[in-house]
Amino acid sequence: MNKDIATPIRTKEILNKYGFSFKKSLGQNFIIDPNILRNIVQHAHLTEESGAIEVGPGIGALTEHLARAAKKVVAFEIDQRLLPVLEDTLSPYNNVRVVHSDILKADVQSVIEQEMPDLKDIMVVANLPYYVTTPILIKLLTENLPIRGLVVMMQKEVADRITAQPGTKNYGSLSIAIQYYGTAEVAMIVPKTVFMPQPNVDSAVIRIIKHDQPPVKVITEEFFFEVTRASFAQRRKTILNNLQSGLTKGKEKKQYILDALESSGIDPSRRGETLSIEEFGKLADALYPYFFKQ
């Protein structure tokens, strides 16, 4: 068994060897506790027939645990300075491929086709850069990739928003977007002390298992998400006010919005955060004909 990368001593050795300095702009925080990494990997339920996709492998601390658990690991790293480091730290593992690319610009689908053509079970497992957590999640969920789900570390505050239920202060359009694509739960809370450098906030690992079918069937996903975003534009406002100001020409279409709310059985004085995903689905479909005249 190779010596774990994720210990404070080994991490410092590697950083010193390569004269590596952390880039704040890339949100680089490396984990220095092998137990945390083992736990993260366990939550992904990988087998010897699984593939793992990682975003931002850093110096390879999580990557090596994935390499031990899965058949193949593909890690997307944006920071060119880390490529020689990863080549060195991951040299004991012949089932890892590091792709030098910004995950937000990468064609993940074709990388999966090339690197994991025969794998039926693929999970995204990553310690996500905190400043782009949401765009990365939305990209990986909306691109219809052949993945079972994601086990990802993020700021605890974002995890709270993702897993929030209707009627709570954290519930918003992000909660609904994630709910549309999968079932999300907080798998573990991670203290800031296990990172180098230490971030200012605690972190959480969430697991999202993708739905086979979305929980609501809507006329168009795009308009459904537009309606949910508009409904949360200003949290203290009623759904009627938010839709009027948030939807294109909403002010002129106040009567139509009222009609759609009534036919969906939604009181116009309710707030967005009290509506379930099913109610948003009904409402978006009721509004659709008024905003897209056939």
Residues annotated within a binding site? 29, 31, 56, 77, 102, 127
Which tokens belong to 93? 């593992």
Q: Which residue shows structure tokens 């709570």?
A: 168
CA dist 11 and 16 (Å) reads 9
Q: What angle, rounded to 10 degrees, do the helices at 173-181 and 133-142 form?
A: 30
34: closest CA among 72, 60, 71?
A: 60
- Evaluate whether 203 touches 153 at the Cβ level (below 8 Å): yes
82: closest CA among 17, 135, 9, 134?
A: 17
228 to each of 14, 171, 282, 283, how far by Cα in Å?
46, 11, 11, 9
Q: What is the DSSP letter of 187?
A: E
Side chain identity at 173, as an amino acid letter? Answer: S
CA dist 58 and 30 (Å) reads 7
Q: What is the largest CA-CA distance in the chain?
A: 68
List the binding residues for S-adenosyl-L-methionine: 29, 31, 56, 77, 102, 127
Alpha-carbon dihedral 165, 273, 155, 191, rounded to 10 degrees: -50
Q: Which residue shows structure tokens 């699984």?
A: 50
